[in-house]
Structure 1
Amino acid sequence: MPIDTTLRLLSKARGLSVADIATAIPRAGIGTVNAWLKGEKLPGRDQVDALARALGVPAGALLAELAQTLDPARTRGEHQLLAAYRALSPRQQGALLEVARGLAAATTPIPARKKHAPRRRTPA
C-alpha cells in the first residue's frame, strides 16, 4: 500500500486532522502534510519518526511503506499492478494469478526438439 494511503488510514483511525498532524511534526505545515496525504511529496527521515509518534506506530512500519514505494526493482507499472491486485477480493486475486501464469507460460519459448537421424532397421 502506498505511504499516502497508509498515512490517511492511520490518521483517520486515530481521529487526527491534517492540522493535528502538522502540529506534531517539526517544520511541517498543513500544506506539506496535505501533500503527503495526497502522495505528492514524501516525508523526510526526521519527519517519519515524528509521524510515527503522532500516529502511534513504529517508525519501521512507515519506513517499510516508504521502501516499498521507492523500490527501484519495481517499475511504475508493477506498482500499479500490485495496487490493483490488492484491491481485488481473494477469489479475484486467484483468477488474476491464473491468467498471469497462463500469459507467462505462453510467452516462454519452448525449446526446439532435437532432430534425430532416422533409425535404420536391421533385418532380423
Structure 2
Amino acid sequence: MSIDATLRLLSKASGITVTDLATTIPRAGISTVNAWLKGDKIPGKEQIDALARTFGVPAGALLAEIATTLDPARSKGEHALLAAYRSLNTRQQGALLEVARSMQPAPPATPRRKPATPRRKQA
C-alpha cells in the first residue's frame, strides 16, 4: 500500500484530521499534509517519525512501500512493471505471473554421465 493510502487509512481509522496532523508534525502545514494524503509529496525522515508516533505505528510500516518503490537496485522497467502489477486485480496479477513464468528460459539440461565400468584386476 502506498504511503498516501496508508496515511489516509490511518487518519480515517484514528479520527485524526488534516489539521490535527499539521499541528503535530514538524514543518508541516495543512497544504503539505494534504499533498502527502494525495500522494503529491513524500514526508521527510523527521516527519515520518512524527507520523509514526502520532498514529502509534512503526515507521517501517509507513516506509515499506517507499523502500520497494525507490529501490535503487531495480531498473526503470522493473519499477514500471511493479507499478503496473500493483494496479491490477488479483485475477489479473495471477495471469500476468503465468505469462512471466512461461517466458522464462528452460533450465539447461544436465549432461548424463556414463555408468562407470568396473576396473579389471591386473595379474
Q: TM-score if structure 2 supplies the norm length?
A: 0.70
Matched positions, count:
106
Indicate whether 1:22 and 2:22 are aligned.
yes
Q: Percent identity?
A: 72
Partner of 1:9: 9
CA contact (8 A) 1:36 1:43 kept: yes
| Structure 1 vs Structure 2 CA RMSD | 2.3
Deviation at 1:15, TM superposition (A): 2.2
Partner of 2:113: none
- Structure-1 separation of matches of 2:51 and 2:74: 26
CA contact (8 A) 1:52 1:58 kept: yes
Task: Tell me the SS of whatever aligns to 1:46.
Answer: helix
Deviation at 1:28, TM superposition (A): 0.4
CA separation of 1:15 and 1:84: change in aligned 2, threshold 3 A: farther
CA separation of 1:83 and 1:11: change in aligned 2, threshold 3 A: farther
- Structure-2 separation of matches of 1:100 and 1:10: 35
| Alignment-mate amino acid for residue 66 of structure 2 | L
Task: Tell me the SS of whatever aligns to 1:74.
Answer: coil
| Alignment-mate amino acid for residue 103 of structure 1 | M
Deviations 1:13-42 (A, max 9, x none): 222221121111021001111111122221
TM alignment of 1:79-94, pairs within 5 A: 79-86=79-86, 87-89=88-90, 91-94=91-94
- Structure-2 separation of matches of 1:24 and 1:98: 47
Any stretches of 5+ residues in structure 2 without a counterpart?
A: 109-123
| Alignment-mate amino acid for residue 17 of structure 1 | T
Partner of 1:98: 98
CA separation of 1:65 and 1:92: change in aligned 2, threshold 3 A: closer
| Alignment-mate amino acid for residue 99 of structure 1 | V
Task: Tell me the SS of whatever aligns to 2:27.
Answer: coil
CA separation of 1:5 and 1:41: change in aligned 2, threshold 3 A: same
Any stretches of 5+ residues in structure 1 without a counterpart?
A: 111-124
TM alignment of 1:48-67, pairs within 5 A: 48-67=48-67
CA contact (8 A) 1:85 1:93 kept: yes
